[in-house]
């Protein structure tokens, strides 16, 4: 069976490997295709697409965008985007400016807590365009303030912790439109991880996102339980959405997620990518 991974991150955001390194790793792992879905940036796509053919790996240009919807924040994956689309680039630049403002505030909070951390150190850790909390966690680990990056989130950086700062996000409708206007298709990322409070919340959100223009749900994901998969597959069938899957591979930032295999038992078939391509073709023809 030909396997794929449609959710990966590179050094363009908060991954550990360059786009070219990631493509080479995908080839070594026996994957037929991967998607580059860095957070709020498309900077890694060109390099990955160039590296794909020599490695025999199909590369899908993509992005992962954080959006707000009714209070909570969610992630939306964009596939087959025109990564040179000027309105897309402009909007992503605005998102990164918001992120930069947040990073300044996080550093100030950590300093108030007695930790000697600078934004320069965090930028150096990132090595890419999009600086996020995993880079802050890496600096805290390197300087001995935490035993591992998970402790950094658990004690300081997760929502509700002393150094957590929320940031501005696009609305779900605007994020989905941004992907669609750049020629791509939008997929609701890892819908099983959000801790839905009431029965029916997930279904209602999927229905609303489908109305906004998403074409798929990421059912196969490293942190999804079997019951998550079953409920997401049922919703995809109910709303006529395609199903996708990916690991959310980051490298050393999330060492528990193996490229193409997640925590060891993920196997996403190439047929899901074909179905996504069909949906893209139908949208273009329409």
pTM to 2 decimals? 0.84
| pLDDT band at 204; cut points 50, 70, 90 | very high
What's the CA gap between 277 and 262, in Å, rounded?
23
Most confident listed range (45-59, 112-126, 167-181): 45-59
Q: Is the pLDDT of residue 1 over 60?
A: yes
What's the CA gap between 118 and 110, in Å, rounded?
9
Give 11-52 pLDDT, tens digit per residue: 998 898 999 999 999 999 999 999 999 999 999 999 999 999
Domains in the chain with CATH codes: 3-88+170-285 (3.20.20.140), 92-157 (1.10.150)
> What is the chain's percent helix, strand, coil content, to nearest 5?
45, 20, 35
Task: Determine the pLDDT at residue 286.
Answer: 45
Secondary structure (DSSP) of 6-23: EEE--TTTT-SS-HHHHH
What's the CA gap between 164 and 154, in Å, rounded?
11
**Both structure tokens of 95:** 């998102």
Average predicted confidence (pLDDT) for the chain: 91
Task: Determine the pLDDT at residue 128.
Answer: 52
Helix 172-181 / helix 201-212 crossing angle, nearest 10 deg: 40
Task: Determine the pLDDT at residue 95.
Answer: 84
Q: Yes or no: say if 35 and 22 are a contact pair by the CB < 8 Å rule.
A: no
Q: Is the pLDDT of residue 283 over 70?
A: no
Q: Yes or no: say if 162 and 113 are a contact pair by the CB < 8 Å rule.
A: yes
């Amino acid at each position: 069976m030909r396997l794929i991974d449609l959710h990966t991150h590179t050094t363009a955001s908060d991954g550990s490997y360059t786009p070219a390194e990631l493509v080479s790793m995908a080839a070594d792992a026996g994957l037929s295709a991967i998607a580059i879905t860095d957070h709020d940036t498309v900077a890694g796509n060109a390099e990955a697409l160039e590296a794909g053919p020599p490695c025999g790996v199909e590369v899908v240009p993509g992005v992962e965008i954080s959006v707000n919807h009714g209070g909570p924040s969610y992630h939306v994956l964009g596939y087959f985007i025109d990564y040179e689309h000027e309105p897309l680039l402009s909007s992503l630049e605005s998102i990164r400016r918001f992120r930069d403002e947040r990073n300044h505030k996080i550093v100030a909070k950590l300093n108030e807590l007695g930790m000697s951390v600078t934004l320069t150190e965090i930028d150096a850790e990132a090595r890419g365009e999009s600086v996020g909390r995993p880079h802050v966690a890496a600096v805290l680990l390197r300087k001995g303030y935490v035993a591992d990056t998970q402790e950094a989130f658990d004690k300081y950086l997760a929502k509700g912790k002393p150094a957590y700062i929320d940031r501005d996000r696009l609305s779900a409708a605007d994020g989905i439109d941004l992907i669609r206007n750049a020629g791509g298709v939008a997929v609701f990322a890892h819908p099983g991880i959000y801790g839905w409070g009431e029965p029916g919340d997930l279904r209602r959100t999927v229905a609303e996102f489908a109305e906004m223009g998403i074409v798929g749900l990421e059912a196969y994901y490293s942190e999804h339980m079997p019951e998550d998969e079953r409920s997401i597959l049922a919703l995809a069938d109910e709303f006529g959405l395609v199903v996708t899957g990916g690991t959310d591979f980051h490298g050393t930032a999330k060492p528990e997620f193996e490229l193409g295999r997640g925590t060891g038992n993920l196997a996403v078939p190439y047929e899901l990518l074909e179905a996504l391509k069909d949906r893209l073709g139908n949208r273009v023809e329409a």
